[in-house]
Amino acid sequence: MPDDAEAHYNLACIYSILGENENACKFLKKAVATGFSDIELLKNDADLINIRENECYKETISGFETSVAQ
């Protein structure tokens, strides 16, 4: 399902849990790009703890917050 934001988000969580940070970030970006909009979940989901310090994660969150504020 290439346009399913929730599926991409779930894959990001799975890859983060597995320690596959590059894939986790890739799917997190896809989740946001395809419409995932729960910023609080992005910030607080324990499944994403492995990528929180990753620059890709920080950029994704920052970009998401900027687009929501506009």
Question: pLDDT in tens for each of the 70 residues of the chain?
Answer: 779 999 999 999 999 999 999 999 999 999 999 999 998 999 999 999 999 999 999 998 887 766 655 5
Alpha helices in 1-70 (DSSP H): 5-17, 21-33, 39-44, 55-69
Give domain limits for the chain.
5-69
61 Cβ contact list (under 8 Å, min separation 6): 39, 42, 43
pTM of the complete model: 0.88
